């Protein structure tokens, strides 16, 4: 029998779920550690183990029979990853890289040390620290961030004065805080790279992301009208970070596009919402390249296969049942690609996304084809949410 | 909980396996009836029932809880499909359509009746019938085909005289035979359509298929240099057959491209080898449109997304273990898309395929990009088989 490797994926969400398709194509075998057998990924990966990613025994049990371990999220405790590594488990990305994605303080220190462009920031312990920092960067408002555990806008607070800062810092459930200058940016970008243990790396086209309340809503790929030099700078920053931090797999570098250049906002060391467009829009999807990277297989071509690709997130709305809405959406737009994550609908929860692929490269945000793709994506999502009924 | 329909797929081969990816994307639930839990599709579809598709009880047990039944192959006995239908199971395509794919005699009669262009043919019971037919079509050789059970070149014999015909007709394990004129064709084409129960249909670009010993080896999409009028005729023939026969799902119409026009060779009422290119090369893959069709969802855009797509089949060779060969193939060609079917390697067995997508539309078989895509596809397959080692 042909022996293909087993990739263990910790976490049963949509990122693990979307790894299933390239694994099926390439014949790679996935093994999943999920919180529940009804998780989105558990529904589609036969070899699913139910267990707790915070429990080292569960992790050890799961890792047996896996050739390599990777992740749907960044929440596995670093000490567990180190314990697994020292007992011979291949952990990719490894804890020495992942800790920078897990801890915003460590990440900002390291990015500063390697000379990556970052906003002004400081580790803070008290409201008076925040006040001093604000004075240095031109005053309030500034941004407070919990160093650990934040995602999708959680763990981030815009504070307008000392009192608000004190209020946030009184949340003692998080281990620490950093404060950052409020960056005035024209838009948000994301530079995504894949890197293998042997050091090969590829850079995807830089995309524009549209965030609302800290949650990614839309992605335009490639970023419309982004100057070639700036795109290349963003790719080089991402490649540099991946190399310096020893990332294996996908690294997503969220960037602010400012008058003075790009600044690194956040990092993610796993397939990322800003890369869902690659399923239809790139020669090799982020999910395929993540699997290839963690297996140390040569990476696939990250180029766009279309002129412009638009992705619109589907967040839970009024409709409990997506499927009946497929009829209208598919009839209205035969080019619409719908992705559903197998999740129960809850308001605001990421339950799917839609993708539309266009022929020409948008040179600006006003490009007529881009505007049309965005309209169609938003319409589909509005209908699938139940916001509109025609 | 969002309730998505359950599509029951009878047969655990690569066609069922390749339905898994669009089902994951759309959130559709697949249930598989496989001969064994190690079948290619059973490896990737959690809800797998092991049973015998020739056994009505197994089929009934399987159909419980499925919203619709469809197929990876055409070998389920027609009488079982009728029994399932009369007990209320949705069978798509239904037995009234499938019987034409199962019985070459019935198919040729029906195609004749609806005026589709077919080679001269006759049902035969004796060698003297064959001799009389040969005299009418200009002499031997002629082609004898078993009316049932043939695939991939099995059940087809080129016979040069009465003696050889008698020898073939002495194989009494098949229910009957048809004889056909030996068509002189320039190349083989395939016209693929998807049709839904409500009658919507879409036609894929007509492709060129390269067969050896009755087995599909390569597909070029769209067929290079095929005149627009002839392509349209081929699509119309396929749409007409799908409509007249009441096909639901994918219909592949294999055609001879002759000096006088296209002639129908064979039909398949399921996703088909000639349509694997659509996974990367079309806006909607044949597997997605098959699922959409059997669920009576509006069909997706069948257009090519690339200029030219080349698919090369991977038939089992000397190498037992494909995976180590991935390293070289992926390093050599970052655009190569490898598909492995999770099958044990046996010489000549279809165990996978590779796809390469090009930017420009090939206007002839000598188009330089087409030639390059074919070379790269053949090289990858040669390496994966163990025919070459560099």
Between the two ends of chain A, the Cα-to-Cα distance in Å is 52
Partners of B3 on chain A (C-beta within 8 Å) are 321, 323
> Residue B1 pLDDT more than 60?
no
pLDDT confidence tier of residue A148, bands split at 50, 70 and 90 = confident
| Position A151 confidence tier, pLDDT thresholds 50, 70, 90 | low
The answer to whether A357 contacts B305, with C-beta atoms less than 8 Å apart, is yes
**Any bridge partners for residue A8, and if so which?**
A31, A69
Q: Contact, A277 vs A221, CB < 8 A?
A: yes
Give the dihedral sign, CA A97/A11/A15/B280.
positive
Q: Is the pLDDT at A201 greater than 90, yes or no? A: yes
Confidence at residue B173, expressed as pLDDT on a 0 to 100 scale:
59
For A52-112, what is the HEC assignment? CCCCHHHHHHHHCCCCEEEECCCCCCHHHHHHHHHCCCCECCCHHHHHHHHCHHHHHHHHH
Chain Cα centroid distance, residue B367: 27
Assess contact for A94 and A100: CB atoms under 8 A: no
Closest alpha carbon to A131 in A169, A173, A103? A169
Chain A residues with CB inside 8 Å of B25's CB? 21, 279, 337-340
**Residue range B292-309: mean pLDDT, rounded:** 97
For residue B21, what are the CA distances in angstroms to B40, B94, B279? Answer: 13, 24, 10
Q: Name the pTM for this structure.
A: 0.96
Instruction: Assess contact for B299 and B204: CB atoms under 8 A.
Output: no
* CB within 8 Å: A27 and B322: yes
Q: Please report which confidence band the pLDDT of residue A174 belongs to, taking 50, 70 and 90 as the band edges.
A: low
* pLDDT for residue A1 is more than 60: no
Nearest to B2 among A292, A322, A337 (CB): A322
Residue A14 has pLDDT above 80, yes or no: yes
Residues written for chain A: 390
Q: Write the CB contacts of A379 (distance below 8 Å, at least 6 apart in sequence).
A: A332, A333, A388
Residue among A25, A43, A326 whose CB faces B297 most closely: A326
Backbone angles phi, psi at B279, to 5 degrees: -60, -50
pLDDT over 90, % of chain B: 91
CB-closest option in A46, A321, A344 to B43: A46
Mind telling me how many Å the CA of A195 is from chain B's nearest CA? 14
Does B342 contact chain A (CB < 8 Å)? yes
Main-chain dihedrals φ then ψ at residue A171, nearest 5 degrees: -70, 95
Asked if the peptide bond before residue B366 counts as cis, ω within 30 degrees of 0, the response is no
For residue B210, the distance in angstroms to the closest alpha carbon of chain A comes to: 23
Task: Please name the member of A3, A43, A300 whose beta carbon is closest to the beta carbon of B334.
Answer: A300
Measured CA to CA in angstroms, residue B355 lies from A25, A314, B337 at distances of 11, 31, 5
pLDDT exceeding 90 applies to what percent of chain A?
91
Q: How much is the ipTM here?
A: 0.95
Distance spanning both ends of chain B, measured CA to CA = 52
Query: pLDDT exceeding 70 applies to what percent of chain B?
Result: 98
Whether chain A has a CB inside 8 Å of the CB on B361: the answer is no
Which B positions 227-286 lie with beta carbon below 8 A of chain A?
A: 279, 283-284
Does position B174 have pLDDT exceeding 80, yes or no?
no
Contact A2 B357 (CB under 8 A): no
Among partner residues B3, B299, B345, which is closest to A334 by beta-carbon distance? B299
Of the pLDDT bands very low, low, confident and very high (cuts 50, 70, 90), residue A369 is very high
Tens digit of each residue's pLDDT (9 = 90 or more) over A293-330: 999 999 999 999 989 999 999 999 988 889 999 999 99
pLDDT in tens, A216-254: 999 999 999 999 999 999 999 999 999 999 999 999 999
pLDDT score at B108 = 95
CA–CA dist B358, B372 (Å, integer): 9
Whether the per-residue pLDDT at A274 is higher than 80: the answer is yes
Q: Note whether B26 contacts A: Cβ–Cβ < 8 A.
A: yes
- Judged by average pLDDT, the poorest of A124-133, A208-217, A241-250, B231-240 is A208-217
pLDDT at B150 over 70: no
Task: Give per-residue pLDDT as tens, A42-96.
Answer: 999 999 999 999 999 999 999 999 999 999 999 999 999 999 999 999 999 999 9
B48 touches chain A (CB under 8 A): yes
In 3D, which of A189, A171, A204, A164 has the Cα closest to residue A301?
A204
From the list B202, B279, B321, the residue facing A2 with the nearest CB is B321
Count CB-CB contacts under 10 A for residue A131. 18
Contacts of B319 (CB under 8 A, 6+ apart): B325, B345, B384, B385, B386
- Asked if A372 has any chain B CB less than 8 Å from its own CB, the reply is no
- Does the pLDDT at position B93 exceed 90? yes
What number of H helices and E strands is found in chain B? 12, 17
Residues B341-375: pLDDT tens digits? 999 999 999 999 999 999 999 999 999 999 999 99
Q: Do A298 and B3 touch (CB under 8 A)?
A: no
Picking from B265, B239, B267, B213, the residue whose alpha carbon sits closest to that of residue B99 is: B267
Residue-wise DSSP of B285-309: -HHHHHHHHHTTPPPPP--BSSSEE
| pLDDT of the residue at B152 | 67
Quick: pLDDT tens for B188-230: 999 999 999 999 999 999 999 999 888 899 999 999 999 999 9
Residues of A in Cβ contact (< 8 Å) with B359: none
Q: How far apart are CA A256 and CA A232, in angstroms?
A: 15
Average pLDDT of the segment spanning B87-114:
95
What is the three-state SS of A243-280? HHHCCCEEEEEEEEEECCEEEEEEEECCCCHHHCCHHH
pLDDT bracket for residue A171 (50, 70, 90): confident
What distance in Å separates residue B15's CA from the closest CA in chain A?
12
């Amino acid at each position: 029998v042909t022996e293909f490797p087993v990739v263990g994926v910790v976490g049963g969400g949509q990122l693990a779920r979307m790894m299933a398709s390239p694994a099926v194509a390439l014949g790679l075998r996935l093994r999943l550690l999920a919180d529940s057998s009804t998780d989105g990924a558990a529904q589609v990966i036969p070899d699913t183990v139910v267990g707790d990613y915070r429990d080292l025994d569960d992790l050890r049990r799961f890792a047996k029979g896996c050739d390599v371990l990777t992740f749907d999220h960044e929440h596995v405790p670093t000490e567990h990853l180190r314990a697994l590594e020292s007992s011979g488990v291949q952990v990719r990305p490894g804890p020495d890289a992942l800790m920078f994605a897990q801890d915003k303080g460590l990440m900002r220190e390291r990015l500063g040390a390697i000379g990556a462009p970052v906003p002004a920031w400081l580790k803070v312990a008290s409201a008076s620290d925040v006040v001093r920092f604000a004075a240095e960067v031109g005053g309030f408002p500034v941004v407070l961030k919990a160093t650990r555990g934040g995602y999708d806008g959680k763990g981030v607070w815009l504070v307008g004065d000392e009192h608000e800062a004190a209020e946030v810092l009184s949340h003692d459930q998080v281990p620490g805080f950093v404060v950052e200058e409020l960056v005035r940016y024209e838009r948000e970008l994301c530079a995504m790279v894949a890197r293998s243990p042997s050091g090969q790396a590829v850079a995807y086209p830089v995309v524009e992301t549209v965030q609302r309340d800290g949650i990614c809503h839309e992605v335009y790929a490639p970023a419309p009208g982004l100057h070639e030099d700036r795109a290349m700078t963003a790719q080089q920053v991402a490649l540099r970070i991946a190399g310096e931090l020893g990332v294996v797999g996908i690294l997503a570098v969220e960037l602010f596009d400012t008058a003075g250049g790009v600044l690194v906002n956040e990092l993610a060391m796993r397939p990322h919402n800003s890369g869902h467009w690659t399923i239809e829009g790139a020669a090799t999807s982020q999910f395929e390249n993540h699997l290839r990277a963690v297996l140390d297989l040569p990476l696939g071509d990250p180029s766009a296969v279309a002129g412009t690709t638009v992705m619109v997130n589907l967040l839970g709305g009024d409709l409990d049942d997506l499927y009946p809405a497929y009829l209208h959406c598919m009839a209205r737009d035969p080019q619409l690609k719908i992705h559903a994550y197998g999740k129960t609908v809850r308001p605001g929860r990421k339950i799917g996304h839609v993708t539309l692929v266009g022929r020409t490269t948008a040179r600006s945000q006003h490009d007529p084809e881009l505007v049309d793709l965005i309209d169609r994506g938003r319409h589909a999502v509005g209908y699938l949410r139940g916001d509109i009924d025609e």
